[in-house]
Amino acid sequence: MQTEGIQSAATAVRVLAMDAVQKAKSGHPGLPMGCAELGVILYGEILKHVPQEPQWINRDRFVLSAGHGSMLLYSLLHLSGYPLSLEDIKNFRQLGSKTPGHPEYGRTVGVETTTGPLGQGIANAVGMAIAERMLGAAFNTDKKVIDHYTYVLAGDGDMMEGISAEASSLAGHLGLSKLIVFYDSNRITIEGSTNLAFSEDVSKRYQAYGWQTLEGDAYDIEGILKLVETARRESARPSLILLHSTIAKGSPNMAGSHETHGAPLGEEEVAATKKALGVPEEPFHIPEGALSYFRSKQEGWKQTYRSWQELFEAWSKENPEKRKAWDRRFAPLDLSRAAFPTFKEGETMATRKASGAVLNAIAASVPQLVGGSADLAPSNNTLLKDFGNFQADAPEGRNMHFGIREHGMGGIVNGMALHGGLLPYCATFMVFSDYMRPSIRLAALMQLPVIYVFTHDSVFVGEDGPTHEPVEHLAALRAIPNLLVLRPADAEETVQAWRMALERTDGPTALALTRQNLTVFSKGDSKWAEHCAYGAYIASEAASGGDPQLVLVATGSEVNLALEVRAALGSAGEKARVVSMPCRELFLRAPQEYRRSLIPDSALVVLLESGISQGWAAVVGRDAEMVTIERFGESAPAAKIAEHLGFTAQAVAQRIKGRLS
Ligand SMILES: Cc1ncc(C[n+]2csc(CCOP(=O)(O)OP(=O)(O)O)c2C)c(N)n1
């Protein structure tokens, strides 16, 4: 082992982290300095990776869950030969740089996921380890074309956050033995010592989850490598390697202090640290030993990649069918072989049920589609009936059982999507989307094609009462940039919504689906499915012809209601058009001409949506009649709630007549 080279590289990490943070006048030097040796041996000794082939599907994944320590990752990517220059490092935290404050997926080659919100990275890594196992089950023979580890570096903050507990609990249950988490136990967070708020025995907790737990010293290089060997030998459990460390190790006067967590050390202390480390004061100086250490690794990495390519070619020859399936799996999604279900006009069905029909109809032809629910599959209709459960002893299963862990679920599906080779979906009641909102936000930020099946999308859940009845959730979900929220109005629109969700490649989609039955209505627009790309279409044209006097704009279950309202209006209804708007965001982005043609300025507009009105004025105008719900729901049969909240055809027709007169 090249102990000197490793030490030299660790010094380089410390220097780059200190200097970049000092130059930016902001950032977190403590963690990179405290974990410098670990980082170097991760990138130099432990990870199976090839900086020139950063997309290699069988690379080990490394997740820096403690994303504030981004300078650790950036300096290692730079030193080990990823396309991240010293200039990039000097631009740390600057606008448009490849070295933003926290690692951002898609911005920096070699960054496997966006981290910063603590705990998310651990859940992502669990998802990656699940993906590795699923793909291994689908493709491996005696030749293992998918066979890699997922490593994580997590800090005290990650361990405190609930999402890591949820995800780690599931990882233990599933026996994800190729998941190895390093816990940087420096016992320091922002406010001071962990003694202030965190005194549990983390290792014991992980043992209870079913993990192998190991412990060592963050500066004992040989010791760490031995622990990693032990972790890799374990075949039934994930491993937690707790490493005792010192924040800002190397700084003579500040090591161990919480003041190094998230602020520059200051010019003086930087100079003192460099002196202690025996390096020149010159900023961003990289000792030659660090460069030659990583240079010496390049040929070995390339050889590893060539060996895998040879294995892959041999495997392809022996398994032409598997190879074909592989090529399809990693090509852009082709839905031409998927047989979507059809429904009849007049048929009544809850959109959650239609969604289940879609999933099951296409599952065989879209093998990358995997997912499940947070214990609500029978209600969410998300079970793939012909495919088994994914379990420790059943890696070929496609049904995930996430348990009652919405936040963990959200982070895990992000990791599954990030890994590649899978198109994951997950499900819960829409009201509980709040429990996973931070992960949804990250999926949107990372542009991941994850699909959320949110059923029971309104107060018409009924008897379960206001705790289970979303009212502000549609607005809250629509507020997340790059999340597409689709609220189909009947079974046919549900099919179209699924198509749109599946075809989306640059972000997540949330499907808002009903518990209650809806009637499949006759579509006034023969190109309605195509027009869903514009977010809305004419569900039913005014009988009178010409420009409508009244436009009823509705989403989801309220389109059925709008059609009833028009009938209840009698002769006034003849001049009314009904517009179905499955996606408000897409409508707002549609050409103005199209928007105007659907909702002419001259008409009185009535909006029907069983949720708060927030955001609708921009779509239907301030003068529109808002048939919305600005309060919590009630516990009662759905029909009673509808009456109580004025969501009956008669009540709405009455309001409209009032406006018309
Ligand atoms: C969900 C979330 N809450 C709060 C923060 C703000 N924050 C960033 S780092 C940190 C302390 C983390 O402490 P630790 O993991 O021990 O990191 P270290 O001090 O070792 O760098 C906090 C509270 C965050 N990034 N994410």
Please state the φ and ψ torsions of residue 538, each to the nearest 5 degrees: -80, 110
Determine the atom of ligand 1 nearest the C-alpha atom of 67: 25
Is-catalytic flag, 634?
no
- CB of residue 406 inside a 6 A radius of ligand 1: no
Cα of 177 to ligand 1 centre, how many Å? 27
What is the pLDDT averaged over residues 183-198? 97
Cα of 27 to ligand 1 centre, how many Å? 12
- CB of residue 67 inside a 6 A radius of ligand 1: no
Cα of 240 to ligand 1 centre, how many Å? 19
Reduce the DSSP state of residue 632 to 3 states and report it: coil
What is the pLDDT averaged over residues 161-182? 98
pTM of the predicted structure, to 2 decimals: 0.98
Determine the atom of ligand 1 nearest the C-alpha atom of 157: 15
- CB of residue 355 inside a 6 A radius of ligand 1: no
How much of the chain, in percent, has pLDDT values that exceed 90? 99
- Pocket mutation for ligand 1, best pick of 28, 64, 68, 164 (most atoms within 8 Å of C-beta): 68
Token digits of residue 66: 């403690």
pLDDT for 11 equals 98
The amino acid that residue 175 corresponds to is: G
Determine the atom of ligand 1 nearest the C-alpha atom of 66: 15
The amino acid that residue 250 corresponds to is: G
Contact between 401 and 372 under an 8 Å Cβ cutoff? The reply is yes
pLDDT tens, position by position, 92-121:
999 999 999 999 999 999 999 999 999 999
Continuous segment of H or E residues that includes residue 320: helix 320-330
Cα of 119 to ligand 1 centre, how many Å? 9
Contact between 105 and 418 under an 8 Å Cβ cutoff? The reply is yes
- Pocket mutation for ligand 1, best pick of 38, 118, 188, 259 (most atoms within 8 Å of C-beta): 118
Token digits of residue 458: 């309104």
pLDDT tens, position by position, 310-331:
999 999 999 999 999 999 999 9
Cα of 255 to ligand 1 centre, how many Å? 18
Please state the φ and ψ torsions of residue 98, each to the nearest 5 degrees: -80, 0
Rounded alpha-carbon distances, angstroms, from residue 603 to 302, 545, 547, 577:
67, 13, 8, 10
* Own/partner long-range contacts of 613-622 (Cβ < 8 Å, ≥24 apart): 614/472, 614/475, 615/475, 615/478, 615/479, 615/584, 616/584, 618/588, 619/553, 619/581, 619/584, 619/587, 619/588, 620/553
pLDDT tens, position by position, 268-287:
999 999 999 999 999 999 99
Q: Could you tell me the pLDDT band of residue 1, with boundaries at 50, 70 and 90?
A: confident
Please state the φ and ψ torsions of residue 62, each to the nearest 5 degrees: -125, 125
Residue with tokens 């959320």: 452
Q: DSSP letter at 195?
A: G
Distance, in Å, from the CA atom of 90 to the CA atom of 413, rounded to the nearest integer, reads 34
C-beta neighbour count of 645 within 10 angstroms: 20
Choose among 17, 22, 15, 62: nearest CA to 41: 62
Determine the atom of ligand 1 nearest the C-alpha atom of 438: 1
Distance, in Å, from the CA atom of 316 to the CA atom of 307, rounded to the nearest integer, reads 14
Q: Which residue in the list 104, 132, 406, 558 is annotated as catalytic? A: 406
The residue nearest atom 21 of ligand 1, judged by CA position, is: 31
